């Protein structure tokens, strides 16, 4: 199993540009989520999904869109990039099986810089 | 409103000694707690967890203690090794099906001095 994969690893955007951060998992996990990590802020939840066709907002959703058309993929779209979206983005998944813990498995991250 | 707090941004410990990382939470609905370890340029990796029905969980060199009345948990690493140098995040969630969202603390950077 490759686990949780993210592409690209690095990206530089200009203000106003749009892009999609890709996330895929091959563990058949129902739950997937996106976090951003900023210095002194820990990891903050952007959006999450409990299954294909179902998404919901997290703590910091503004400026981001998500969709979940398959169990495997959970892309994060930046509609019009702003310097405040400069961050490291992590995708994570969880099997969401009854009786199991809430351990989430994280991808390696995408470092995004918006100029 | 920071619901999960790690008040020590950094900690340095001599190799072989005990490392103690602390975490406080404010939300009484949290009943499942986790510790993650993060190396630079990598994603966080799960380390150990504890349910609110327990007050201690041990896995090798790592032990997590939970004090529900004080809304406090701690991670003990004994003995500390150079490879333990990393950023450690505390996280909390509900344990019910449908309460999988994790709320993270701001992290503590642990440095093990050889």
To probe the interface with A, which of B101, B105, B108, B109 has the most A CB atoms within 10 Å? B101
| A1, pLDDT greater than 90 | no
Q: Phi, psi (5° rounding) for residue B57? A: -140, 135
Nearest Cα residue in chain A from B4: A42
* Residue spans of alpha helices (H) in A1-115: none
Q: Judge contact between A26 and A2, C-beta under 8 A.
A: yes
Q: Which carries the bigger pLDDT value, residue B74 or residue A50?
A: B74
Cβ atoms of residues B77 and B60 within 8 Å: no
pLDDT band at A41 (very low <50, low <70, confident <90, very high): confident
Kindly indicate the confidence band of residue B97, based on its pLDDT and cuts at 50, 70 and 90.
low
Ranges of beta strands (E only) in chain B are: 4-5, 10-14, 19-25, 32-38, 45-51, 56-59, 62-67, 72-77, 86-93, 103-104, 108-113
- Mean of pLDDT values over A12-25: 97
pLDDT exceeds cutoff 70 at A100: no
Q: How confident is the model over B36-53, as pLDDT tens digits?
A: 999 999 999 999 999 999
Q: Which of A3, A91, A103 is the best residue to mutate to test the B interface, defined by the most B CB atoms within 10 Å of its own CB?
A: A103
């Amino acid at each position: 199993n490759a686990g949780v994969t993210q592409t690209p690893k690095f990206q530089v955007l200009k203000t106003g540009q749009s892009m999609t951060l890709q996330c895929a998992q091959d563990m058949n996990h129902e739950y997937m989520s996106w976090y951003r990590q900023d210095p002194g802020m820990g990891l903050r939840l952007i959006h999450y999904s409990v299954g294909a066709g179902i998404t919901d907002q997290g703590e910091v959703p503004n400026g981001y869109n998500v969709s979940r058309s398959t169990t495997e993929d959970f892309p994060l779209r930046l509609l019009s990039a702003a310097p405040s979206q400069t961050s490291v983005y992590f995708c994570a998944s969880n099997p969401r099986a009854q009786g199991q813990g809430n351990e989430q498995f994280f991808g390696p991250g995408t470092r995004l810089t918006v100029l | 409103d920071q619901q999960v707090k790690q008040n020590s941004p950094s900690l340095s410990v001599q190799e072989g000694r005990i490392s103690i990382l602390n975490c406080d939470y404010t939300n009484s609905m949290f009943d499942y707690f986790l510790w993650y370890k993060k190396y630079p340029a990598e994603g966080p990796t799960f380390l150990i967890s504890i349910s609110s029905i327990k007050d201690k969980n041990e896995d090798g060199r790592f032990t997590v203690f939970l004090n529900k009345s004080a809304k406090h948990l701690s991670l003990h690493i004994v003995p500390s090794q150079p490879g333990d140098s990393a950023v450690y995040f505390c996280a909390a969630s509900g344990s019910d099906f449908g309460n999988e969202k994790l709320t993270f603390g701001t992290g503590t950077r642990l440095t093990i001095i050889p």
